[in-house]
């Protein structure tokens, strides 16, 4: 028995991927990994207890004739191996305007689940390899993912998705196919630097191997396994915290939350925010919300999305719809520094600069509408930062007459929920800046400016 066959069987057994009588749907692209997977499943179907093997293929049509040739190859292969095949042809409008890879993944898995449900297949087998695992872990390390992200691709996922090749490298797959004389298709776009994964695969990992002289794929895959174990342990601790009342039906006990280890807090918080918003929270959002809950703020409102607000009232925190809470807030800013604005979902950073920095500052302002600069005067501070109120007016930069801020919001198509929390900055009684929307004509930089005040609003 070849090594790849031993690893394949060991992985399937270790993770309990198959049960006697299973009907298995194989995701079949026609590439080397999926072709190898189908051949191994057929070879060992009796040993694995698989009663029926089906295959599914998605033709995105993005490579024209080559896409159609992939489909023809897959049809011939499935017919030769006596595996019923189901094909989906994707229309361009089905992909929408989102990232192609994200859209393709959504369409692909939706189709697999649809076929599996209709045909009674309890398992969906995909051909992810140890090499895919290494690429995924490295991409997530570079993106700043947390523990959950760094665990990489799980061998088994919800919905009966199994990955029997997850401990086999791509090189082992290709060596097996060559030794068996099995043909497969090659997607030439995988060799191009169109996507981040391609560059990680074709440039970064080979370079890391060359520089370190180590088996980088194995190291990264092992790192993913380690974080999967950490995630399991932290998940159990978070579940224990739920049982102890840290999270109630509609609120968080802030005191009990603060007493948890940081890793457990953030894991629990990740679950809470995912349930509330319907999407995975960013690392930055997790850090910011955790900081607000742990620090000694008796009360605050923090904008999670345009429609959702995290509200803390002394010992409890709630996620509420923005239209259910009062968005009024006001802060006094005494001078340069970093000032959290939890109600607005960001922070205001204020710095002093000298006139020799003017050219650089002006260049920055042109590139980033969330940065503004003013000539320093002795009465510039304190600033007041609050939410929009009816009647607010500003003299926009380059104009001499006032204009209602509400009119500017309407012209810029600023959503109503965003208007309720977006920070409005005053110097004295004068409205001087609304980040990302309008800068007033107050205190412009001129050739005679000696000292500059730079304001930056950072959305967290």
pLDDT greater than 70 at residue 327 = no
What does the pLDDT look like over 20-60, one tens digit per residue?
Answer: 999 999 999 999 999 999 999 999 999 999 999 999 999 98
Q: Which bin fits 144, alpha (ψ -120 to 50), beta or left (φ > 0)?
A: left
Give the Cα-Cα-Cα angle 337, 364, 339 (nearest 5 degrees): 20
Where residue 425 falls among pLDDT bands split at 50, 70, 90? very high
> How distant is the alpha carbon of residue 289 from its chain centre?
17
Q: What is the pLDDT of residue 79?
A: 95
Neighbour-count burial of 77, counting CB atoms closer than 10 A to its CB (0-12 exposed, 13-18 middle, 19+ buried): buried
Q: What is the pLDDT of residue 98?
A: 66
Q: What is the pLDDT of residue 96?
A: 64
Cα(297)–Cα(27) distance, rounded to whole angstroms?
A: 51
How far apart, in Å, are the Cα atoms of 77 and each of 24, 34, 35, 69? 17, 11, 9, 12
Helices 262-277 and 283-294 pack at an angle, to 10 degrees, of 110
The predicted model gives 100-128 an average pLDDT of 92
Q: What is the pLDDT of residue 279?
A: 85
Q: Provide the CATH number for the domain formed by 3-213 in this structure.
A: 3.40.50.620
Helices 216-243 and 130-142 pack at an angle, to 10 degrees, of 70
Where residue 193 falls among pLDDT bands split at 50, 70, 90? low
Give the Cα-Cα-Cα angle 265, 266, 272 (nearest 5 degrees): 95
> How distant is the alpha carbon of residue 432 from its chain centre?
35
Helices (H), 96-203: 100-119, 130-142, 147-150, 170-180, 196-199
**CATH level 3 topology of 245-321:** 3.30.465
Cα(142)–Cα(205) distance, rounded to whole angstroms?
A: 13
Eight-class DSSP state of 397: T
Cα(383)–Cα(335) distance, rounded to whole angstroms?
A: 8
The predicted model gives 428-440 an average pLDDT of 95
What does the pLDDT look like over 384-406, one tens digit per residue?
Answer: 999 998 889 999 999 989 999 99
Q: What is the DSSP string of 3-26?
A: HHHHHHHHHHHHTT---TTEEEEE
Sorted by where each begins, the domain ranges of the chain are: 3-213, 245-321, 330-459
**CATH level 3 topology of 330-459:** Phenylalanyl-tRNA Synthetase; Chain B, domain 3 (3.50.40)
Closest CA to 87 of 19, 28, 165: 28
- In terms of pLDDT, which residue wins out, 177 or 298? 177
Length of the chain (residues): 460
Cα(164)–Cα(162) distance, rounded to whole angstroms?
A: 6
Mean pLDDT, the chain, rounded, equals: 89
Neighbour-count burial of 142, counting CB atoms closer than 10 A to its CB (0-12 exposed, 13-18 middle, 19+ buried): exposed
pLDDT greater than 90 at residue 163 = yes
Tell me which H or E stretch contains 278.
Answer: none
Where residue 143 falls among pLDDT bands split at 50, 70, 90? confident
């Amino acid at each position: 028995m070849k090594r790849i066959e031993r690893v394949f069987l060991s992985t399937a057994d270790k993770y309990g991927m198959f049960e006697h009588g299973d009907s298995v749907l194989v995701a079949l692209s026609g590439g080397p990994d999926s072709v190898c997977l189908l051949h191994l499943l057929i070879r060992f179907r009796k040993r694995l207890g698989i009663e029926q093997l089906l295959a599914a293929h998605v033709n995105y049509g993005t490579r024209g004739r080559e896409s159609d040739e992939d489909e023809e190859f897959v049809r011939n292969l499935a017919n030769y191996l006596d595996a019923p095949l189901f094909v989906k042809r994707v229309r361009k409008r089905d992909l929408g305007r989102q990232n192609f890879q994200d859209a393709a993944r959504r369409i692909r898995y939706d189709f697999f689940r649809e076929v599996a449900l209709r045909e009674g297949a309890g398992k969906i087998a995909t051909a992810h390899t140890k090499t895919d695992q290494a690429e995924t872990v490295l991409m997530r390390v570079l993106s700043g993912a947390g523990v959950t992200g760094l665990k990489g691709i799980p061998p088994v996922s919800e919905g009966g998705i199994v990955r029997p090749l997850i401990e086999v490298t791509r090189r082992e797959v290709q060596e097996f196919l060559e030794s068996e004389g099995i043909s497969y298709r090659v997607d030439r776009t995988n060799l191009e630097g169109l996507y981040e994964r391609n560059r990680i695969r074709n440039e970064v990992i080979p370079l890391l191997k060359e520089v370190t002289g180590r088996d980088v794929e194995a190291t990264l895959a092992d790192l993913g396994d380690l974080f999967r174990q950490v995630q399991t342990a932290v998940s159990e601790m978070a579940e224990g915290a739920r049982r102890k009342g840290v999270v109630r039906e509609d609120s968080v006990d802030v005191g009990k939350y603060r007493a948890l280890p940081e890793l457990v807090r953030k894991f629990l918080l990740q679950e809470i925010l995912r349930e509330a918003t319907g999407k995975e929270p960013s690392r930055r959002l997790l850090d910011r919300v955790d900081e607000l809950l742990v620090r000694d703020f008796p009360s605050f409102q923090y904008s999670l999305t345009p429609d959702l607000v995290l509200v803390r009232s002394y010992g409890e925190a709630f996620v509420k719809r923005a239209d259910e809470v009062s968005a009024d807030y006001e802060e006094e800013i005494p001078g340069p520094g970093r000032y959290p604005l939890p109600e607005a979902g960001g922070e205001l950073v204020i710095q002093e600069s000298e006139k020799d920095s003017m050219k650089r500052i002006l260049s920055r302002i042109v590139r980033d509408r969330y940065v503004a600069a003013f000539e320093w005067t002795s009465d510039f501070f304190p600033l007041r930062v609050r939410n929009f109120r009816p009647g607010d007016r500003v003299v926009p930069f380059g104009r001499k007459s006032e204009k209602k801020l509400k009119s500017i919001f309407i012209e810029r198509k600023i959503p109503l929920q965003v208007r309720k929390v977006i920070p409005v900055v005053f110097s004295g009684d004068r409205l001087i800046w609304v980040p990302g929307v309008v800068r007033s004509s107050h205190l412009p930089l001129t050739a005679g400016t000696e000292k500059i005040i730079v304001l930056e609003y950072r959305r967290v």
